[in-house]
Amino acid sequence: MIQKEFEPKIVGFLCTWCSYTGADMAGTSRMKYPPNILIVRVMCSGRVDPTFVLKAFREGADGVLIAGCHPGDCHYINGNMKTMRRYPLLVKLLESFGIENKRIRLEWVSAAEGEKFSNVVKDFTSVVKKLGPLNWKAIENQIKPAEIMVEKEKPSPGVEEVRI
Amino acid sequence: MSKPKLALYWAASCGGCEIAVLEIKEKILDVANVFDIVLWPCVMDFKYEDLEKLGNKEIDLCLFNGAIRTSEHEHLAKLLRDKSKVMVAYGTCACEGGIPGLANEFDKKSIFQRVYVETPSTYNPDKKFPEENYDMPEGKIHLPAFYDTVRSLKQTVQVEYFIPGCPPLEKTTWKALEAVIKGDLPPVGSFLGAGDKTVCEECPRKKEEKKIKGFYRSHLKIPEPEKCLLEQGIICAGPATRSGCEAACIKANLPCWGCYGPPPGVSDVGAKFMSALASVIDSDDEKEVNKILEGIVDPIGTFYRFGLASSILRRKKISQEKKE
């Protein structure tokens, strides 16, 4: 049997004005990039609530990319600055949950930077591939076996029991 | 007609919720008059066997405080669920996992290592740990199993009502008891005695535009009495916390700790609190932002002080090697 190479799942939150258009640019210019990225279009990178990122990781993402307009270029004046302030804190938080800081990335991609977008996805995919699967679902499962343990714990009949 | 039955139980909790129940003062005598108390391990001697003998849904009200840490807690949660008509998660530990939920930063192995070996006051040269089953000459001894992950009551059994707070306010407790006596119960899933806005709504301080250049934990700065604490850089969980406490801590010149849990519609209290904090930083320079954020020393402890067990990620990753 051929052993399948690990293909990471990457969720990309792209702002509609710059990065999503940049990704579109990469597509229309026929630039190649790995198909591992699942793109979610948001109105602004500032709209990317940390909840989205946490949820993506819980639901099975191996990496999360947030991409927005370059500082100063935001369609909403300073939405991307809010992302920029939030991001280091999010990385710090993920690290304390045991999620490597390389699994999350913030990039500024303008509408003209199709090539940059394709390079970012290539590089990020290879980095996450090296890290291996995150598999947060397995952690959910580790929580559940507790119930099976309770069943096992019930003393078998005939064994004298001392309660303390 | 026989009296309605009341059960109170503590799982992984500090005992503060029990005191909060007693805070209804002389009304506790009314409670004893009106209710037939069938279980209250903190105050009276009851055996679990007696509880098992009760019929299904025979208990009218169960106030359950504490998180689910061991198999005993889980067993009692399920047992009380079967026996009770109305199950109330009483206090933040039962609602959200609370302070015991912070142990989800660790697992059983590392907790035991710390508690039974590393703590300075412990003398345990043979590195003995509590065992679930132990043979004594007199017979077998059982201890409840200790889980890797703390859960809230809601994550274990179905819960009708929630009374948040660490501990819940006296008037809230009384309201809940009154509602059961009168048969005047709100829709299932309601939070009793809590609002549906944030603590900032109740906070009496003056709020202007928030722009700060540095974060301070509450012991690092004496706050001015009138001004919003966040505007002073003091980490205050008000914006990400459910109202209902009447901003008790803030009125005492202390920042909100977030004990009422997230406001309605929020699935992850830490993520929201983090967003709120990051958006008050007054800088567009990446380096400066990083420097300002150094003031937040312990992200999980700050953002998930009461809500780690019921957050989206729920716990720190247990590394596979450790598990085996």
Which chain A residue's Cα is nearest to B147?
Answer: A146
Exposure string over A34-68, b if 16+ CB within 10 A, otherwise e:
bebbebeebebbbbbbbbbbbbbbbeebbbbbbbb
| Contact criterion met (CB < 8 Å) for B267 and A51 | yes
User: Is the residue at B320 inside a domain?
Assistant: no
Long-range contacts of B24-30 (CB under 8 A, 24+ apart): B24/B170, B24/B173, B24/B174, B24/B177, B25/B170, B27/B174
ipTM: 0.91
Residues 6+ apart with CB under 8 A from B78: B156, B157
Contact status of B148 with chain A (Cβ, < 8 Å): yes
The pLDDT of residue B320 is: 59
User: Is the residue at B232 inside a domain?
Assistant: yes
Residues pairing with B288 in the sheet: none
User: Is the residue at B163 inside a domain?
Assistant: yes
The pLDDT of residue B206 is: 94
pLDDT 10s digits, B229-263:
999 999 999 999 999 999 999 999 999 999 999 99
The pLDDT of residue B77 is: 95
The pLDDT of residue B204 is: 95
Mark whether B81 and B141 lie in a shared domain: no
Mark whether B208 and B219 lie in a shared domain: yes
The pLDDT of residue A144 is: 63
**Mean predicted confidence (pLDDT) in A114-131:** 96
Structure tokens at B90: 């009483």
Nearest neighbour of B316 by CB, restricted to A90, A98, A146? A98
Contact status of B37 with chain A (Cβ, < 8 Å): no
Mark whether B123 and B96 lie in a shared domain: no
Phi–psi pair at B66, nearest 5 degrees: 100, 155
How far is A29 from chain B, CA to nearest CA, in Å?
32
Which pTM was predicted?
0.90
Residues 6+ apart with CB under 8 A from B99: B14, B93, B166, B305, B306
Contact status of B143 with chain A (Cβ, < 8 Å): yes
Here the CATH number for the domain that contains residue A23 is 3.40.50
Mutate to test the interface with A, among B142, B213, B305 (most CBs of A within 10 A): B142
Phi–psi pair at A70, nearest 5 degrees: -60, 150
Chain A residues 19-38 with a CB less than 8 Å from chain B: none
Mark whether B49 and B162 lie in a shared domain: yes
Nearest neighbour of A160 by CB, restricted to B139, B299, B319? B139
Count of domains forming chain B: 3
Mark whether B255 and B172 lie in a shared domain: no
Residues pairing with B161 in the sheet: B88
Here the CATH number for the domain that contains residue B85 is 3.40.50.700
Mark whether B117 and B175 lie in a shared domain: no
Mark whether B36 and B171 lie in a shared domain: yes
| Contact criterion met (CB < 8 Å) for B139 and A85 | no
Low-confidence ranges of chain B (pLDDT < 50): 322-324
- Its domain, for residue B294, covers 199-303
Nearest neighbour of A50 by CB, restricted to B74, B132, B271? B271
Mutate to test the interface with B, among A59, A97, A131 (most CBs of B within 10 A): A97
Which H helix or E strand runs over B85?
Answer: strand B84-90
Mutate to test the interface with B, among A92, A103, A151 (most CBs of B within 10 A): A92
The pLDDT of residue A148 is: 46
Which H helix or E strand runs over B176?
Answer: helix B170-182
Residues 6+ apart with CB under 8 A from B74: A146, A147, A150, B68, B147, B156
Give A161's contacts in chain B (Cβ within 8 Å). Answer: 139-140, 142
Which H helix or E strand runs over B140?
Answer: strand B139-142
| Contact criterion met (CB < 8 Å) for B299 and A164 | no
Give A55's contacts in chain B (Cβ within 8 Å). Answer: 267-268, 312
Mutate to test the interface with A, among B71, B316, B323 (most CBs of A within 10 A): B71
Q: Of B106, B15, B24, B102, which is closest to residue B66 (Cα–Cα)?
A: B15
| Contact criterion met (CB < 8 Å) for A150 and B289 | no
What is the overall mean pLDDT for chain A?
A: 87
User: Is the residue at A71 inside a domain?
Assistant: yes
Which chain B residue's Cα is nearest to A98?
Answer: B317
Mark whether B262 and B171 lie in a shared domain: no
The pLDDT of residue A157 is: 41
User: Is the residue at A149 inside a domain?
Assistant: no
- Its domain, for residue A22, covers 10-136
The pLDDT of residue A155 is: 43
Count of domains forming chain A: 1
| Contact criterion met (CB < 8 Å) for A143 and B149 | yes
CB B70 within 8 Å of CB B38: no
The pLDDT of residue B1 is: 64
User: Is the residue at B270 inside a domain?
Assistant: yes
pLDDT band at A3, cuts 50/70/90?
confident
User: Is the residue at A16 inside a domain?
Assistant: yes
pLDDT band at A101, cuts 50/70/90?
very high
Mark whether B214 and B291 lie in a shared domain: yes
| Contact criterion met (CB < 8 Å) for B315 and A139 | yes
Mark whether B117 and B9 lie in a shared domain: no
Q: Of B294, B236, B299, B248, which is closest to residue B271 (Cα–Cα)?
A: B299
Confidence check: pLDDT of A159 > 70: no
| Contact criterion met (CB < 8 Å) for A146 and B313 | no
Cα–Cα distance measured from residue B194 to residue B175, given in angstroms and rounded to the nearest whole number? 11
User: Is the residue at B253 inside a domain?
Assistant: yes
Confidence check: pLDDT of A113 > 80: yes
